[in-house]
Chains A and B, each alone.
Chain A
Amino acid sequence: MIPQNITYIRPDTLKEAWDAWQTAHEQGKEVYYLNGGTETVTYARQNKIHPQVLIDISRLPELRQLAEDDADLVFGTALTLHELIEANTFPLLSRCASIVDHTVRNKLSLGGNVAGRLPYRETVLPFLAADAEVSIYGAQGLRRQPISEVFSKRFNLEGGEILVDLRVNKDMARFPWAYVRKTRFGQPVDYPLVTLVFLDAGSGRRGIRCAVSGAFAAPLRHGFIDETVNEAWILMDEKDAPEHFKDLSFRHEFVESLDVPFLQDQRASAEYRSFLFREALRECLIQLWNKYEGKTRL
């Protein structure tokens, strides 16, 4: 039970939502946008947040979009994980959305997952890998920006700004991918110790793009990881021997030279996460290789 009176507002437009947030904020109220509600309920129960005003943006048409234009697939942030999986227009996203259990996936929203308080936010990984664009509603109305400009550890938004949708180039959404997720006990309904995705945009387009969650304090797309993976791929490609992959491991020195520390908490040591991260790199490379079945890549 949430032992608190809450003003619930359900605006019809983005502007109304924005205005409602600003008003509540000016009144000194603790205000949140409400989407799927799974985190809001949990944190409020646990006395970690004390929402006085909740603005329900889960039915705004712009946030409910599951559309495409000439170039892009558009994913509104009020889509539930289940809806993303069902639609399956971006297979790597569907895979990343297959977390928790079905009941929660029916509620948990894309926006809540990519911009929530938990450090994992696994559905942001495909968008990081695909160099997505995001639509944000703010003081000047709607704007679009590359994800790399607004996402660093988290979405860095101004107070009251609304993450409206994420957009991915259609070609990008169809490229071969690989996915590895490792949890403490191997059960899917748990936080990841590492979730690693590869999206292979082909050699002419900066090659394999990697994004990782769980291993570090926040989801990460990192130039050094991309470079290392692409170097490894080229080397293996030259050898043209799947057998070789079995023994493939990444050097300690590689992860040690990363400028981002591995997460250390009650769920796992930094040492184990580092190991699993390297295992995941190896397994993703093998997965990707198997997708080509030995044929030359795009």
Chain B
Amino acid sequence: MKGYRSIGISSPRADAQDKVNGTQRYTGDLRIPGMLYTALVTSPHAHARIINIHKEEALEAPGVRAVVTGQDVPVRLGLYLGDKYPLAFEVVRYFGEPVAAVVADREDQALAAARLIQVEYEALPAVRTPLEALRPDAPVLHPQMAEYRHIPAILPEPGTNVANRTRIRKGDPARGFAESSVIIEETFSFPPGDHAAMEVRVAIAEVARNGVVTIHSATQAPFVVRSLMSTFFNIPTGNIRVIALPVGGGFGGKAGIQLEGLAYLLSKAVGGRPVMVRNQREEDMLSSPGHIGLFARVKIGARSDGKLSAMDLEYLFDSGAYADYAVNISRAAAIACTGPYRVPHVKADSLCVYTNHPFATAYRGFGHIELAFPIERAMDLLARKLGMDPIQFRKLNAIQAGDTSPTQQVMDPNTGNLQGCLDRVAEQLNWQEGDRIVVSDNLVRAKGVGCLWKAPAMPTNTDAGAIITFNEDGSLNLTTGVVEIGQGTNTGLAQLVAERFKISPEQVHVLYEVHTDRSPHDWATAASRSLFMAGRAALEAADDAIAQIQRTASIPLACPPEDLEVAGGRVFLKDNPAVGLDLSQVVLGYQYPHGISVGGQVIGRGRYIARHLTGLDPETGKGDPALEWTLGAEGVEVEVNLRDGSYRVLKAVCAMDVGFVVHPALARAQIAGAMAMALGFASREGFLFDERERILNGNLRDFKLYRYGDEPEYLVDFLTTPQGDGPYGLRGLGEQGVIGIPPALANALSRAIGVELTELPLTPERIWKVLPSEKSKNKQEVEE
């Protein structure tokens, strides 16, 4: 990148060696002296009353220190909606819900004892879908909802299964539809599933004699954990220390509160000794939360010139048994409900609905990967009905600066160039050759696109901080509250600071652990906001440190501080660089040759708080919830076998307006990784249930993920319309790459077979079942 020294380059990651060699230490690798281990007993029913738990035999088993049930610790926890007991209390609401925990000296003892616990249940009818949950005669899964603690931004409806309803009312939809010459209506859906992060969730808690609670956790949100532990267990915040080592994959699944509350309760049960709660893989998939399901009704109208006039949307999110974090997914989906298009008239109801499925939490894309599937599929249906090219149709309606979002927030001059992104995608897909090409008798190649937009869905006072200290050699230490979850933000932050100091990024040592008692406050490592917000804080800390260096150096150099420049590890006169000092002589105070010292050590501090954010009006959704919108377009090319419905993804393409690229290789990797994750989500993932809503594929033998051998060619392009308030003009990009891929895949496959696909995952069997010519082929005979 022209004019810059340390940004716009692919600087090495400080953690690369450890990660590729398998020597990175994660929370599950910790062995704290005196630590005890745990095992869970989980529910074999999707919905049942707990009649009795026989724990006597387990208590007698070797090494067992405690057996804890929901009856012992009836406390509800949650971030946005406090609706979940760490261990089921009286009722189990999903298959895999933890009902008891064993604490023992060794993990094998805990597991063996857990097998001795007998639980008597009385099975209850399971609520299978959001539609079923909304029927008047449906069992109310949370009869005490009115008592649940929740943030004001969500609107639960006690007495029903609706944990949140966010309403969007913009313009006059009735008029909009009256003015439409073409209207489509369709429903779309996909089931809940799992993140399948490589590292399973783990938390270690201990309670010291003086009341200090220490929690090590594989968490994306150490400060959220601290705050919730304080709120729900009445512990003074300063008595809680949460430590987050690097995390082996988050994808949203380790935001909010996870196993920390249970670990704390179990530690209390054994006198405060350190207790590790670590999921087995199957528990991580079934007992801990996964990705949300959706049933969506979409009605869209367009005028004869192709311009969108109105949308009427209903998103019914299948939150499963608990909705703590999921309520905010439904809210985020409402805020962005139309996709990145100019729509004058909008009515949307986005509901978070309880069912007897495994519960949901944040998943990469947070409401946007979900809403994009119905919206971008519907955009293709509408384009087809209008007889327009799907890319031209999207370009015509692409949102731009000056337009308003569904919450009537005005898109500011920083708004990215969606039309440009669509052009790049068209080029990369060679769209001009056509979007359906016959290869041979039974084989076609087809292409599809999907647009994306996303702003962080976060509290209006979301903040970040940064502290810079110095070492004797003049190198820097940067401390922030950002958790390393694989995304590599620390490398980008080092680059930003290095750019200010005009040094190499390797001279900026970023602390790869977050300790809530010494790292600056940071909301959470979520919402693709870290490089933006912690980046702003880090730049302020760098500027603050530079000012202190100038001040100290100005004393021995006998000049005004403003005459000095800091670069290349030195501080020197701007107009005569030969006159200056090494930073090593200044950063811990300057010492004159005769011994007298001045200045003291340099400590740079920086902070950032989101600006201009507001809540939403409960009736209309009007408000300013978006810090910055990232816009982009994606596409895929597939080769489809028209006999059996099998297909290969040949190419996945993304063009995203990210404002500025700090680290090209990591930025590309984030987006290619996101596309791979989304291809897995769209093509094969999702829980399968039996007739009693028990999960059939709750292990990695059966829950198939995208593998290296499946990868298509990834083509990633960046557009750089600057984000004025972002560091060097950058915007978030960590999650966004997932959003447009599922609909792009469905659009391409629908185009290939000539049948509109409305459900995920897009398995070959699902495609085969709707293949138009299939039945006749079946009947063909060997003999003529």
Identify the A interface with B (CB < 8 A): 1-4, 42, 46-47, 182, 184-191, 232, 235, 246-252, 266-269, 272, 275-276, 278-279
Contacts and interface: CB of A to CB of B under 8 A. Distances in A.
Contacts of B780: 247, 249
A272 B768 contact: yes
A185 B646 CA distance: 7
Given A185-B763, A235-B782, A249-B782, A3 B112 contact: yes
Contacts of A47: 115
- Listed from nearest, the 10 A-B pairs whose CB atoms lie closest are A3-B111, A3-B112, A3-B108, A249-B780, A266-B696, A272-B765, A266-B688, A185-B684, A186-B646, A232-B782
B109 interface: yes
Contacts of B702: 266-267
Contacts of B683: 185
Given A1-B108, A266-B702, A188 B709 contact: yes
B111 A268 contact: no
A47 B282 CA distance: 12
A4 B112 contact: yes
Contact of A185 (B110, B643, B764, B768): B764
A4 B113 CA distance: 10
B90 interface: no
A266 B107 contact: no
Nearest to B688: A266
15 contacts: A3-B108, A3-B109, A3-B110, A3-B112, A184-B765, A185-B710, A186-B646, A189-B707, A189-B709, A190-B704, A246-B441, A266-B697, A266-B702, A269-B765, A272-B768
Interface in B460-505: none
A279 to B, nearest CB: 6
B648 interface: yes
A275 B112 contact: no
A267 B702 CA distance: 8
Contact of A184 (B112, B696, B764, B783): B764
- Interface centre among B697, B768, B769, B782, by most chain A C-beta atoms within 10 angstroms, is B782
Interface in B686-712: 688, 696-697, 699, 701-702, 704, 707, 709-710
A269 B782 CA distance: 24
Contact of A186 (B688, B699, B764): B764
Contact of A187 (B39, B710, B782): B710
Interface string B317-337: 000000000000000000000
A275 B441 contact: no
Contact of A249 (B684, B699, B764, B777): B777
B427 interface: no
Contact of B778 (A3, A187, A248, A249): A249
Nearest to B108: A3
B704 A184 contact: yes
A191 B701 CA distance: 9
B198 to A, nearest CB: 16
B709 A1 contact: no
A275 B709 contact: no
B107 A1 contact: yes
B781 interface: yes
A131 to B, nearest CB: 26
Nearest to B761: A185
Nearest to B782: A232
Contact of B781 (A3, A191, A249): A249
B774 to A, nearest CB: 8
- Interface centre among B763, B769, B781, by most chain A C-beta atoms within 10 angstroms, is B781
Given A232-B782, A275-B768, A187 B709 contact: yes
Interface in B733-784: 763-765, 768-769, 777-783
A283 B5 CA distance: 59
A276 to B, nearest CB: 7
A267 B763 CA distance: 10
- Interface centre among A1, A251, A276, by most chain B C-beta atoms within 10 angstroms, is A1
Contacts of B107: 1, 3
A268 B684 CA distance: 13
What is the interface of chain A mostly: helix, strand, loop, or mixed?
Answer: loop
B644 interface: yes
B644 A276 contact: yes
A47 B42 CA distance: 13
A276 B701 CA distance: 22
A47 B441 CA distance: 49
B781 to A, nearest CB: 5
Contacts of B643: 279
B777 A187 contact: no
A185 B782 CA distance: 28
B167 to A, nearest CB: 38
A83 to B, nearest CB: 23
Contacts of B701: 42, 191
Interface string B647-690: 11000000000000000000000000000000000011000100
A44 B648 CA distance: 36
Nearest to A246: B441
Contacts of A269: 765
A167 B438 CA distance: 47
B108 A185 contact: no
A33 to B, nearest CB: 22
A269 B768 CA distance: 12
A2 B112 CA distance: 9
Contacts of A266: 688, 696-697, 702
A235 B764 contact: no
A268 B782 contact: no
Given A3-B108, A249-B781, 8 more contacts: A3-B39, A3-B111, A185-B683, A185-B710, A186-B646, A186-B647, A189-B709, A190-B704
A271 B297 CA distance: 30
B644 A279 contact: yes
A167 to B, nearest CB: 32
B644 A275 contact: yes
Nearest to A186: B646
Nearest to A274: B778
Given A186-B646, A186-B764, A268-B765, A252 B707 contact: no
Contacts of A3: 39, 107-112, 115
Contacts of B112: 3-4
Contacts of A252: 778-779
Contacts of A42: 701
Contacts of A232: 782
Contacts of A2: 108
Interface in B11-63: 39
Given A3-B108, A3-B109, A251 B782 contact: yes
B99 to A, nearest CB: 16
Contacts of A189: 707, 709
Contacts of A185: 683-684, 704, 710, 763-764
Nearest to B778: A252
Contacts of B707: 187, 189
A93 B279 CA distance: 39
B202 to A, nearest CB: 14
A122 B777 CA distance: 28
Contacts of A268: 765
- Interface centre among A182, A184, A268, A269, by most chain B C-beta atoms within 10 angstroms, is A184
A185 B761 CA distance: 11
Contacts of A275: 644, 768, 778
Given A251-B782, A266-B688, A279-B644, A184 B763 contact: yes
A247 B779 CA distance: 11
Contacts of B441: 246
B768 A187 contact: no
Contacts of A246: 441
Contacts of B769: 272
A218 to B, nearest CB: 19
